[in-house]
Structure 1
């Protein structure tokens, strides 16, 4: 009986395969590419160049080749939306300190369909050398704050050394007005670490290994979601084609799929009953093999990139560092945090990760994000542990813990209240840290989970942004990022993340979360007081807006003098700008820093956010829900509603 069912299922599946195979194009959904594993659109192989936007030669040794701008590069590891790539030819030039190194430009052209960027990178300007002193003086004047390399025949190279502070024009400001005999070149540099800062001459500063990031355009993503194929025409115009054959066979294949699914399910139930012991063992074996493969991929990534400049600990080390998890500091969205001590006596905080997706994308995400940061207002990552399913992150220890235990009125009496000078200092420090993430790194980092719980305070109450588990890396010039689901914490999530009709998701989403957090710091309470009677529900930002609008006193506790009152009003006005419903009305974090450091008289009154209302009756709340849901497109929620 089991054999008959098995034969029938195989027959139906074979027939279904024939029907579906005739209705599809020659492009496979996935293809194997050497050590990179399974690849899919937008990538393709040499056998089917028309099936993707970027071609791989998967048969080259020792690594597959990716073809970009007519050049071949070794693709070492793939993880998420980036690759670890190597340029052997560039390494040959760097080893011999050849000026041919500056012929290898990694500034890849952007397409209406897909864009690439390397990180980290160094921007150089190659200017033809001339015996005409006038031209030479013009070059030196134009690049007056730049370092200069003059050992190449026929041209000079100007660049900003990463260890030096930029005083004059930045690379972004001068790229659009270069002298006609100068050209821009981008070459990769390694990630700096405290133990290995940038040093040496220009050739020792460069590297042949780099991270290559890619991102599909919004139009192409929408085209693919509708079953189409995106391409670029001869006039460099975007187009989206539908596969007519798939449309004509849709009804027939649906019937075949339904029939095959029913028969297959019946046959599978019979097989499970007859061979339940063997099948259970087989499933366990396959599960182990799948996890082993995922583990190997993460190990390759950490070997080539993730562990660069970081200490790697085994789980035994973690237990020793934390004295077998004796002192628990707190609990976050991804696991518990324990106090620990290194062999040299340094105090650390160890976060044990226990809520990871798949093969550890959140773990890799945090390592990759925070490893490339170095700022007084960003927490430092000392090391990590990756041992099977046991994963941990080791951070510098913050004696005063998180901000949330200092700012709410319901905090215990054992925690002292922060004065307005310290609150203002914390507000400004967080703004500077976010400004660095958005503009100070070669690759822009969007945090997506700014809240008091993720702001740590050192012994001097200097704030440091932590927990990059939800962060997203994007290109420095990218204004809008793609995101499949909502991410963040309820109460701090920007409206456009859950209501996509309000605008694109960008660094302005962090600005909104920052504004909501600062308003809670100002009021010492949650912005929406859900503990009071429903008919008298209070929306705190609305209350503050009314008092600022009418030039009334804020009536906030603890203000002792006019200087503290001015600090409080600047914090409120800047925050009200940050929580504007329309992302285009929100300031950048650079502008927020300017507001906080400037004079109160220079601040303009922000518009009133329109999605929220103050005290609402039950009927009004019902109407609000309908008015908001009518303009929102709700994605799958991945939000953390911890707070």
Structure 2
């Protein structure tokens, strides 16, 4: 079997060097080892193998073979799934007691039902997506939900199980290990190894970094070079950024929207006469192409960023053609001058219509707000599932939703976007991205879960709740302090079975307001695993309000209830820690 060796610093023997089963497979090193490697290369319960298809295989006692998708040595976590993609089939006999692993996610009680005929599914009552126990369909639901509204005729409960939630609803799941304790060693960038001795209980050692004296000597030696480097670093970085952009544009030429010179940009905008707005990375002007088509031209600041904003915008918008995503018509990369030419949307951004602070008296009405919410959801769902690669926008907010002449919504501003494969369950992040008030908890701290496409779901939920309230979610100026944090007030209001009477003119408005509220609260669940996918959100928005179930309280995971914005900020912040990049 072919293995792909990794560079390994030379501190380990060649026989124990890190390896992979494939180019895309996880790195295999201590405490894991491959079957053909000597025993001292890993621990007994951490043996892996490579399949004929170059898949990384973990075999657990009595629980079968699992495909390994990712191994994080710093957090001591492994992501796996069954080769037949049917986790639920293993539920009755799945047992980790004889292995060194434990589930990482929150445990929940689930009830399994065997039904003689198919049933209507919901976000709570779901079918098992593969043959399971019998030829009849099997359904599962959290035991703590009231199933009074679910038709359980012709169904019988077959068993209950206490399992992590993503074991039921996702195609893969995470486990961690507590021994051997190498996480701290790995987090410091050091090497963890097993001591070569005859002890029956494996002992480990951490190969330290060089001594302080060696480091100080090296710093003295390189200090002069460092000073010289600082002198020309700024210009060198600019040249590198320009080269990166030029290389990207050469690769991109076959997919192009049109490329314009900076002189063309000045002509299109009539020397930047009509300014539409100012953003974090540049200024937007109204322009006109030679064929009388109006456009919006975004001039990127050449002193901000490293070219990533420009590349992200062109790479994503230039290849997307969807009714709910702003279309990129052209771009400019002329020396250090960069600009984007997009379709012009006369009604500007959504925030000008939902926030009274803008002084706009135009009311969109609840039916139009629902249509806008459905359009935004379909746009995000297309980014997550409709493209060759999954696109995470990571900055969904009312300001980045533009409206055309018929108030159809279009998602804009892809400067913070990240691309990943559809099979990739986790995303590498070095820092939180987005706008405060819309950023998901896991973007700040891995304690709340891994960063994934569910971060966009959270941002959409906060946007949806702002559409319901017609105000910012956090507002310390409101007269009633209980409404200072609107999402929590809204949940408590609905939980007490009170109707949402906000700008209500017709009876049907109440149902729409309640539906948007419930869906928004589902989307802002504190843990990513508890949030629905955008595909499910679209179905909920297009379905009937009566079929929706109130979600769990999304604020119970945040500690005690806050009664003011100031108290809320001080109670959350101590829990937030920086995300370290996952490789």
Give me the TM-score of the superposition, normalised by structure 2: 0.63
Could you tell me whether the CA contact under 8 Å between 1:314 and 1:386 is conserved in 2?
yes
Could you tell me whether the CA contact under 8 Å between 1:306 and 1:364 is conserved in 2?
no
**1:440-491: CA deviations, max 9, x gaps?**
1121101100000000000000000000000111110222212110001011
CA drift of 1:608 comes to 0.9
CA drift of 1:405 comes to 0.5
Output the CA distance in 2 between the equivalents of 1:298 and 1:350. 19
1:343 corresponds to 2:343: no
Output the CA distance in 2 between the equivalents of 1:395 and 1:108. 44
Output the CA distance in 2 between the equivalents of 1:577 and 1:377. 22
1:392 corresponds to 2:392: no
**1:406-462: CA deviations, max 9, x gaps?**
11112224x512111111110110011111111111211011000000000000000
Aligned to 2:385: 439
Aligned to 1:407: 354
Q: Per residue, is there more helix in 1 or in 2?
A: 1
- Structure-2 change in CA distance of 1:397 and 1:224 (3 Å): farther
Could you tell me whether the CA contact under 8 Å between 1:537 and 1:615 is conserved in 2?
no
Could you tell me whether the CA contact under 8 Å between 1:334 and 1:356 is conserved in 2?
no
CA drift of 1:539 comes to 1.5
Could you tell me whether the CA contact under 8 Å between 1:298 and 1:359 is conserved in 2?
no
Aligned to 2:261: 314
Could you tell me whether the CA contact under 8 Å between 2:462 and 2:524 is conserved in 1?
yes
CA drift of 1:600 comes to 1.2
Could you tell me whether the CA contact under 8 Å between 2:317 and 2:414 is conserved in 1?
yes
- Structure-2 change in CA distance of 1:478 and 1:597 (3 Å): same
- Structure-2 change in CA distance of 1:229 and 1:568 (3 Å): same
Give secondary structure in 2 for the equivalent of 1:518.
helix
Could you tell me whether the CA contact under 8 Å between 1:227 and 1:243 is conserved in 2?
no
**1:114-147: CA deviations, max 9, x gaps?**
99xxxxxxxxxxxxxxxxxxxxxxxxxxxxxxxx
1:305 corresponds to 2:252: yes
1:524-535 mapped onto 2 (5 Å cutoff): 524-532=470-478
1:383 corresponds to 2:345: no
Q: 1:561 aligns with which of 490, 496, 506?
A: 506
Q: 1:633 aligns with which of 573, 577, 580?
A: 577
Q: 2:550 aligns with which of 598, 605, 629?
A: 605
Output the CA distance in 1 between the equivalents of 2:186 and 2:54. 24
Aligned to 1:227: 189
Number of aligned residues: 418
Gaps of 5+ in 2: 1-7, 25-52, 57-67, 73-128, 132-175, 194-203
CA drift of 1:590 comes to 0.9
CA drift of 1:500 comes to 1.9
Output the CA distance in 2 between the equivalents of 1:612 and 1:412. 36
Could you tell me whether the CA contact under 8 Å between 2:302 and 2:337 is conserved in 1?
no
Give secondary structure in 1 for the equivalent of 2:277.
strand
CA drift of 1:545 comes to 1.5
Give secondary structure in 2 for the equivalent of 1:448.
coil
1:588 corresponds to 2:533: yes
Output the CA distance in 2 between the equivalents of 1:331 and 1:554. 35
Aligned to 2:408: 462
1:538 corresponds to 2:484: yes
CA drift of 1:631 comes to 3.7
Aligned to 2:215: 254
Aligned to 2:299: 352
Aligned to 2:518: 573
Aligned to 1:363: 310
Could you tell me whether the CA contact under 8 Å between 2:442 and 2:449 is conserved in 1?
yes
**1:151-195: CA deviations, max 9, x gaps?**
xxxxxxxxxxxxxxxxxxxxxxxx999xxxxxxxxxxxxxxxxxx
CA drift of 1:555 comes to 1.4
Give secondary structure in 1 for the equivalent of 2:356.
coil
Give secondary structure in 2 for the equivalent of 1:486.
coil
CA drift of 1:373 comes to 1.6
CA drift of 1:287 comes to 5.3
Could you tell me whether the CA contact under 8 Å between 1:356 and 1:363 is conserved in 2?
no
CA drift of 1:294 comes to 3.6
CA drift of 1:26 comes to 5.9
Could you tell me whether the CA contact under 8 Å between 2:485 and 2:564 is conserved in 1?
no
Aligned to 2:398: 452
CA drift of 1:358 comes to 5.4
Q: Which structure is larger by alpha-carbon Rg, 1 or 2?
A: 1
Output the CA distance in 1 between the equivalents of 2:345 and 2:473. 26
CA drift of 1:582 comes to 1.3
Could you tell me whether the CA contact under 8 Å between 2:491 and 2:521 is conserved in 1?
yes
Output the CA distance in 1 between the equivalents of 2:289 and 2:392. 31
The CA RMSD over aligned residues, in Å, is 3.9
Aligned to 2:563: 616
- Structure-2 change in CA distance of 1:391 and 1:250 (3 Å): same
Gaps of 5+ in 1: 1-23, 28-47, 55-66, 70-106, 116-174, 178-217, 232-240, 270-278, 638-643
Output the CA distance in 2 between the equivalents of 1:590 and 1:446. 15
Could you tell me whether the CA contact under 8 Å between 1:430 and 1:463 is conserved in 2?
yes
Output the CA distance in 2 between the equivalents of 1:358 and 1:631. 29
Output the CA distance in 2 between the equivalents of 1:493 and 1:288. 34
Could you tell me whether the CA contact under 8 Å between 2:483 and 2:489 is conserved in 1?
no
**1:29-77: CA deviations, max 9, x gaps?**
xxxxxxxxxxxxxxxxxxx9x99879xxxxxxxxxxxx969xxxxxxxx
Give me the TM-score of the superposition, normalised by structure 1: 0.58
CA drift of 1:540 comes to 1.1
Give secondary structure in 2 for the equivalent of 1:485.
coil
Give secondary structure in 1 for the equivalent of 2:287.
strand
Could you tell me whether the CA contact under 8 Å between 1:356 and 1:362 is conserved in 2?
no
Give secondary structure in 1 for the equivalent of 2:358.
coil
Q: 2:420 aligns with which of 474, 478, 481?
A: 474
Output the CA distance in 2 between the equivalents of 1:612 and 1:355. 43
CA drift of 1:225 comes to 4.7
CA drift of 1:223 comes to 8.0
**1:602-622: CA deviations, max 9, x gaps?**
10011111227766269x928
Aligned to 1:145: none
Could you tell me whether the CA contact under 8 Å between 2:255 and 2:319 is conserved in 1?
no
